[in-house]
């Protein structure tokens, strides 16, 4: 379907990709990964035809037109949400037009019209046209639109909801090749969960760029890694890639070390006996062996330091309590009502809910920056608060370097620790000395995150900490938070992070806080579909809203999709396990020969 041939991509004076060859087969779902700035979005633009490569060619199978998600969303459109979402379903509009023509011919008594009408209706049945309204409703519902919103004009929606309309329009257009650049932006955790299942079940060919670990694990059949101006293809999803990349790197390091030891041994013999008449012939023989050895390169590593949070200072067993608190900003009614929450040392609480439900308001109440209108906030003794929010990046002094900005946020942190934290979060080398004003939004967020990571605290309040972080950096942050022994409150739409860290989950539903221990599968569903929820379900018909029958249909479809994904995943894991076991046997057999043949080391990596 798609082939990159000797592709080179240069932006300004920087070579992002050099001489890349890659082939995408139909039906594959590829996650495009790499550190920020390596050229992921630029490569998508090249494939879409929006940007010309510096050299090489992009081959698309005849007639294939990639579908992309426009960043300008649907601003200014007076069409309704339903109309805009279905506006690119060209196959449906074509069949409907043919149906109208055939019906008109039947009404006019045109000979053969009845047969043509039968043919069109059969084509519509086979193509699924009669289920199109149900399909549109499913996509809009999955992306978080209530039935009463389906007939609202798009220009009445916020930018985030307009992006959801644009995403629905793209999904419903069913392009042969989907190019998705951060499709989960503006989506809450329930919509992200639905989107991952929809894409995995769609059968479409796609390339996805995303910071959402759960999405890449659920959707991807392959990974294409951009690194050091090269592209490397890997089988499996993101988690498989991370494990396999580490295994391959360790194998290459070991092979390089063994070969280097053999080279050093031979070289010592040549240096020692090359000038001696009695050993000269042997020395020349060893030199010939050295000259024939094809050197195994040392693996290229990013050389990142490990992110370590300072030890949590001793403090109260209950650092903060909210007692029957009403919380809200401004003069309007409170966003949260009657909140009672006891935080305990060692607890890691994930706060979930749709955008605008009051998650950040809760963090402000816990931090003490927002006083309850009613009820109380009680703070324990010796509480040391650490807070991270993305808006703090806008408060950084633009003239300070990244290092100086972190030291301003954490005045007692030694410069070596500051540099280590920045490096672990992906800001290395000269980037640490660059003025904050010249950093991207994502880099500024990392500066704030590094400052937060350098200050000792026993209560951490985090608002979307993995936004802007690539998979490797997000994994490093999660490792650091896992070892933190204080109290953690986490607001995030990142399902992978919740499942990895949370000991408790809190849901905000209709201004109320519901907390339970552990993480449950239904924590990532809309309120109406969670066990024990009193959330109201919407209506069932396309026009009037889903009924209980519609809800049960959706639940049944969700269960079937989940079972199908699990079966495919299990089958893929069995295949990968068999391949890995076969590879281990090959390596074990080859190791026997390696001891006597240094050249054979190369094949092991």
Res. 124: pLDDT tops 60: yes
Q: What is the reported pLDDT for 548?
A: 33
Res. 389: pLDDT tops 90: no
Please say whether the dihedral angle defined by the alpha carbons of residues 513, 514, 516 and 522, taken in this order, is positive or negative: negative
Residue with the two structure tokens 């084509």: 123
Q: What is the reported pLDDT for 123?
A: 86
Reference 179, options 202, 201, 209; nearest CA is 209
pLDDT digits (tens, 9 = 90+) for 51-65: 999 999 999 988 788
Q: What is the reported pLDDT for 553?
A: 42
Report how far residue 61's alpha carbon sits from residue 54's, in angstroms, rounded to the nearest whole number.
21
3-state SS, residue 184: coil
Strands (E), 484-575: 487-491, 504-509, 512-517, 540-541, 545-546
Residue with the two structure tokens 């239904």: 522
Q: What is the 3-state secondary structure (H, E, C) of 284-341?
A: HHHHHHHHHCCCCCCCCCCCCCCCCCCCCCCCCCCCEEEEEEEECCCCCCCCEEEEEE
**pTM, entire model:** 0.77
Q: Cβ–Cβ contacts within 10 Å for residue 369, how many? A: 11
pLDDT digits (tens, 9 = 90+) for 431-490: 899 999 998 888 898 999 999 899 999 999 999 999 888 888 888 999 999 999 999 999
Give the chain's mean pLDDT: 85
Q: How many residues does the chain have?
A: 605
Report how far residue 38's alpha carbon sits from residue 11's, in angstroms, rounded to the nearest whole number.
11
Q: What is the reported pLDDT for 587?
A: 66
Q: What is the reported pLDDT for 581?
A: 62
338: left (phi over 0), alpha (psi -120 to 50) or beta: left
> In this structure, what DSSP letter does residue 118 have?
H
Q: What is the reported pLDDT for 571?
A: 60
- The answer to whether the beta carbons of residues 558 and 564 sit under 8 Å apart is no
Please state the rounded mean pLDDT for residues 6-24. 92
Res. 560: pLDDT tops 60: no
Q: Which domains does the chain have, with CATH numbers?
A: 67-240 (3.40.50.300), 320-529 (3.40.50.300)
Q: What is the reported pLDDT for 271?
A: 86
Please state the rounded mean pLDDT for residues 289-311. 81
- The answer to whether the beta carbons of residues 423 and 305 sit under 8 Å apart is yes
pLDDT digits (tens, 9 = 90+) for 216-240: 999 999 999 999 899 999 999 999 9
- The answer to whether the beta carbons of residues 450 and 408 sit under 8 Å apart is no
Non-local (6+) Cβ contacts of 555 within 8 A are 529
Percent of the chain with pLDDT over 90: 54
Report how far residue 534's alpha carbon sits from residue 526's, in angstroms, rounded to the nearest whole number.
11
Res. 600: pLDDT tops 90: no
Kindly list the distances between the CA atom of residue 282 and the CA atoms of 51, 293, 595, 597, in Å, as whole numbers in the listed order: 59, 17, 20, 17
pLDDT digits (tens, 9 = 90+) for 128-179: 888 889 999 999 999 999 999 999 999 888 888 999 999 999 999 999 999 9
Q: Which of 85-89, 407-411, 467-471 has the lowest mean pLDDT?
A: 467-471
Report how far residue 241's alpha carbon sits from residue 235's, in angstroms, rounded to the nearest whole number.
7
Please state the rounded mean pLDDT for residues 320-334. 92
Is residue 565 very low, low, confident or very high in pLDDT (cuts 50, 70, 90)?
Answer: low
Q: What is the reported pLDDT for 78?
A: 86
- The answer to whether the beta carbons of residues 314 and 306 sit under 8 Å apart is no
Which has the higher per-residue pLDDT, 491 or 106?
A: 491
Report how far residue 261's alpha carbon sits from residue 253's, in angstroms, rounded to the nearest whole number.
12
Report how far residue 22's alpha carbon sits from residue 3's, in angstroms, rounded to the nearest whole number.
6
Angle at which helices 441-453 and 402-409 cross, to 10° = 40
Strands (E), 163-281: 177-181, 205-209, 222-227, 230-235
């Amino acid at each position: 379907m798609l082939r990159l041939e000797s592709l080179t991509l240069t932006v300004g004076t920087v070579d992002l990709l050099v001489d890349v060859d890659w082939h995408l087969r139909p039906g594959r779902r590829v996650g495009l990964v790499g550190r920020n700035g390596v050229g992921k979005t630029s490569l998508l633009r090249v494939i879409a035809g929006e940007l010309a490569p510096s050299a090489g060619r992009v081959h698309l199978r005849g007639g294939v037109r990639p579908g992309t998600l426009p960043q300008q969303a649907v601003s200014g459109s007076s069409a309704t949400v339903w109309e805009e979402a279905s506006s690119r379903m060209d196959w449906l509009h074509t069949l409907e037009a043919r149906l109208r023509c055939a019906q008109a011919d039947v009404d006019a008594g045109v000979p053969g019209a009845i047969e043509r009408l039968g043919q069109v209706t059969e084509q519509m049945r086979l193509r699924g046209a009669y289920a199109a309204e149900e399909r549109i409703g499913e996509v809009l519902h999955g992306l978080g639109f209530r039935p009463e919103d389906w007939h609202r004009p798009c220009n009445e929606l916020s930018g985030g909801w307009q992006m959801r309309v644009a995403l629905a329009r793209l999904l419903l257009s069913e392009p042969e090749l989907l190019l998705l650049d951060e499709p989960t932006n503006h989506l809450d955790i329930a919509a992200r969960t639905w989107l991952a299942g929809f894409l995995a079940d769609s059968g479409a060919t796609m390339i996805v760029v995303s910071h959402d670990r759960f999405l890449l694990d659920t959707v991807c059949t392959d990974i294409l890694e951009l690194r050091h101006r090269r592209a490397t293809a890997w089988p499996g999803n993101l988690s498989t890639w991370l494990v396999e990349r580490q295994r391959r790197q360790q194998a290459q390091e070991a092979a390089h070390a063994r070969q280097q030891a053999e080279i050093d041994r031979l070289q010592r013999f040549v240096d020692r006996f090359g000038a001696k008449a009695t050993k000269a012939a042997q020395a020349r023989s060893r030199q010939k062996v050295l000259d024939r050895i094809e050197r195994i390169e040392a693996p290229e590593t990013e050389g990142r330091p490990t992110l370590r949070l300072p030890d949590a200072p001793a403090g109260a067993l209950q650092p903060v309590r909210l007692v029957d608190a009403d919380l809200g900003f401004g003069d309007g009614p409170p966003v949260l009502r009657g909140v009672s929450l006891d935080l305990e040392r060692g607890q890691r609480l994930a706060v979930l809910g749709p955008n605008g439900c009051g998650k950040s308001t809760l963090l402000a109440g816990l931090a003490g920056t927002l006083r309850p209108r009613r009820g109380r906030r009680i703070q324990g003794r010796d509480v040391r608060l650490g807070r991270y929010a993305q808006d703090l990046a806008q408060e950084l002094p633009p003239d300070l370097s990244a290092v100086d900005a972190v030291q301003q946020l954490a005045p007692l942190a030694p410069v070596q620790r500051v540099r280590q934290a920045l490096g672990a979060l992906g800001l290395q080398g000269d980037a640490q000395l660059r003025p904050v004003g010249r950093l991207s939004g994502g880099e500024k967020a990392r500066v704030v995150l590094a400052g937060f990571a350098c200050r000792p605290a026993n209560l951490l309040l985090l608002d979307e900490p993995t936004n802007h972080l690539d998979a490797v950096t997000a994994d490093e942050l999660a490792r650091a938070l896992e070892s933190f022994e204080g109290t953690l409150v986490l607001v995030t739409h990142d399902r992978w992070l919740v499942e990895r860290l949370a000991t408790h989950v809190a849901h905000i539903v209709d201004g109320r806080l519901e907390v339970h221990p552990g993480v449950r599968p239904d924590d990532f569903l809309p309120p109406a579909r969670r066990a024990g929820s009193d959330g109201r379900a919407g209506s069932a018909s396309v026009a009037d809203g889903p009924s209980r029958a519609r809800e049960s249909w959706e639940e049944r479809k969700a269960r079937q999709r989940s079972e199908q994904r699990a079966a495919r995943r299990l089958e893929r894991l069995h295949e990968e396990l068999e391949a890995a076991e076969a590879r281990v046997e090959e390596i074990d057999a080859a190791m026997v020969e390696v001891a006597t043949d240094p050249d054979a080391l190369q094949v092991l990596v």
